[in-house]
Chains A and B, each alone.
Chain A
Amino acid sequence: MENLGMLLDGMATLMTFQNISACVMGSLLGFVIGALPGLGVISGVSMLLPLAFAMNPVTGISLLGSLYYSTMYGGAYSAILLNIPGEAAAVMTVLDGYPMAKNGRPGPALFASVAAGFIGGLIGMMTLVMTGPSLARFGLRFGPAELAALMILALSSIGWLLGESPVKGIISAMLGLLLGTMGLDISGVPRYYFGVVHLLGGIPFAAFAMGLFGFSQVLEMIELRNSPTESGEIDASKLTLKNSMLTRSDFRRLVPPALRSGILGTIIGNMPCIGATVSAFLGYTMQKFFKSKQPLGTGAIEGIAASEAADNAAAAAAFAPMLALGIPGSATTAILLSALMVWGLQPGPLLFTNSPKFAWATIASLYLSNLITLALAIVFIPFIIKILRVPMKYMIPGITFICLIGAYSISNSYYGVIVMIIGGLLGYILMKGNYPLAPVLLAFVLSNLFETNVRKALLISQGSLDIFVQKPISLIILILISALILSSMAKSAIGAIKARRKA
């Protein structure tokens, strides 16, 4: 109850024209930055840092925090409409968002992402208020061995996304993992860069994602452009505001996965250096264990809700370790942390004691940003879905153009463009061979995290693998993975026996 009172004080601090304007500006910019492929939240926050430093700390953090949070909403829009994840965390939203849009329901897909994101974010923020420091301390109990086990859980969950052929799915996942090993390793040793200096920094995620999903999508459009039945163009009569609204049935399907994933996202997002992408991934995977009205991956609203709620919850929860312990929960919160230090504020347990107005105003700004971005997102939907009325012959060069300039803007060099084009060619070849694309990108994202934690754990244990079973949390996660794999195998075996008996 005391924390609620402090939150209300924080809201009172926030209620000035300057602070509210900063929240509105941050929310609007973050939404646009999240929606545009190639512009990540990190570049957005970095760009506004000089402006934020010119403001007082409360106004500055309101601007940056709102921008950070609202990019999660924007990233889902390009994922749903263009099959290009605007943010890494939106990769899972692509799996059901884009098919749902192609099935003639782009408006409900966007509304679902907004509603689920709002619910997830609210859960993350409420948990932050009630248990912030305790939650952050729980996150610290996850060391390298525990995080490595969590990564193994995430990677084995990719199995749910393997598609029809397990062998092809494993190949896709291994390819993604392998591509993630290019560049400097955790000890700064250059490897697998083949003499190309740019590759020392690894393959940039945004350019690779744009190529693999977006560019290959363009290539598919080129193949289908002359086929009226397969062109994928949506009946324009479905692209109205009325048809964009969620039905009662849609809400009933959306709320349970949003609540579950919101809680999961809050827990995962609170762990240091994990981020919203892993949360979205695990949230989506968790939904596989629950009923969905239609199979995941075919445009199920449950899939969109699960991934969006988890990623928004994680974005909010990342503030817990940042504010309470001075430990960044993600790369972006690391930049926010540096901003705090420039303002002369010391993040950590004493922040809430020494600068309560600032700490609680920061949390209050997240609530305000959540509301503002929800309103903005809903207002934009009727205009944005008109994009889908554009005939395919104009979409092909249009998407290509946006991908090209977006890829260039990632690193301000041709490197991003070349990575994108090669990623597009790879995506096209994989698609033609019926290899699933999602495992490539997901494994690519997890590759660095996975290897970093495995090697750190082995360094701590001086090369002994026992560390993974000696740590209780790690052991529990490994037992859970074994149980999941065995139950899946048992289910398949029972299904095969039953089928043989029937035959």
Chain B
Amino acid sequence: MENETEPKAMESGKSGGSRKIDARQLLPAGLIVISVIWIYKGVTEFGFWNPLRGGTPAFMPICIATVLLFTSTIMLFLSYKEVKPVYTQLCFLFLVLCMAIVGLSLLIGFLPASLLFVLLWLKLIEKAPWKGTLIVFSSLAAIAYGVFNIWLSVPFPKGLLFELIL
């Protein structure tokens, strides 16, 4: 999220002052957790090495996770010298909207839900004029139905509502 205190956080990071955990440490910390999970699951479920057959199914994943753990730990310490990343709220809203489209598609169908997203984004977020909106909307609808639905016969879900009507 756009952080109003960001300049302060950036300054403290640069001067090597307070070592609070912030967005810079998110990724290295997350990767450390993933590496530990991979190593733990690999060792407990499959073991590492078979004397006769060489690597077990977890051999390569454990090797890779070990390197990732090591490098992520280094990065965790180096991250305090980095510039704090600024995330935009609209980007996360966009991702939430995409997931909402997936949910809505169960009700009204995948193509209608996706086209509805296009319409709502253009009118509510971009405040685009109706002419441009309808041109884009109809072009995308033509591609979706013409290419994917009719030519390639991709079976997009029709949604509960349409299935009840049909």
Contact = CB atoms under 8 A, between A and B. Distances in A.
27 contacts: A167-B71, A167-B75, A167-B78, A174-B67, A174-B71, A175-B68, A178-B64, A178-B65, A192-B38, A219-B91, A222-B94, A393-B122, A393-B128, A396-B121, A397-B121, A397-B126, A398-B118, A400-B118, A405-B110, A432-B86, A432-B87, A433-B24, A450-B60, A455-B60, A458-B54, A462-B53, A462-B54
Interface in A77-91: none
Contact of A401 (B31, B95, B117, B154): B117
A187 interface: yes
Interface string A385-399: 000000001101110
B147 interface: yes
A398 B117 CA distance: 10
Given A189-B46, A397-B121, 14 more contacts: A168-B75, A174-B65, A177-B64, A191-B41, A192-B61, A219-B95, A222-B94, A396-B126, A400-B94, A401-B144, A405-B111, A425-B95, A454-B55, A459-B53
B152 A409 contact: yes
B1 interface: no
B103 to A, nearest CB: 10
B148 interface: yes
A414 interface: yes
Interface of B: 23-24, 26-28, 31, 34-35, 38, 41-42, 45-46, 49-55, 57-61, 64-65, 67-68, 71-72, 74-75, 78, 82, 85-88, 90-91, 94-95, 98-99, 101-102, 110-111, 114-115, 117-118, 121-122, 126, 128, 132, 136, 140, 143-144, 147-148, 152, 154-156
Interface in A162-186: 167-168, 170-171, 174-175, 177-178, 181, 185
A418 B85 contact: no
A405 B54 contact: no
A114 interface: no
Contacts of A401: 114-115, 117-118, 140, 144
Contacts of B126: 225, 393-394, 396-397
Given A400-B117, A462-B52, A432 B85 contact: yes
Contacts of B136: 394, 397-398
A212 interface: no
Contacts of A418: 102
Contacts of B61: 178, 181, 191-192
A430 interface: yes
A408 B61 CA distance: 29
B71 A170 contact: yes
Contacts of A167: 71, 74-75, 78
A479 to B, nearest CB: 22
Contacts of B45: 191
A464 B50 CA distance: 11
Given A167-B75, A401-B118, A412-B155, A463 B50 contact: yes
Contacts of B98: 400, 404, 421
B123 to A, nearest CB: 10
Contacts of A187: 57
A175 B128 CA distance: 39
Contacts of B27: 429-430, 433, 435
A444 B148 CA distance: 27
Contacts of B24: 433
Contacts of B94: 218-219, 222, 400
Interface in A203-249: 218-219, 222-223, 225
A394 B38 contact: no
Contact of B122 (A47, A394, A412, A451): A394
A424 B113 CA distance: 20
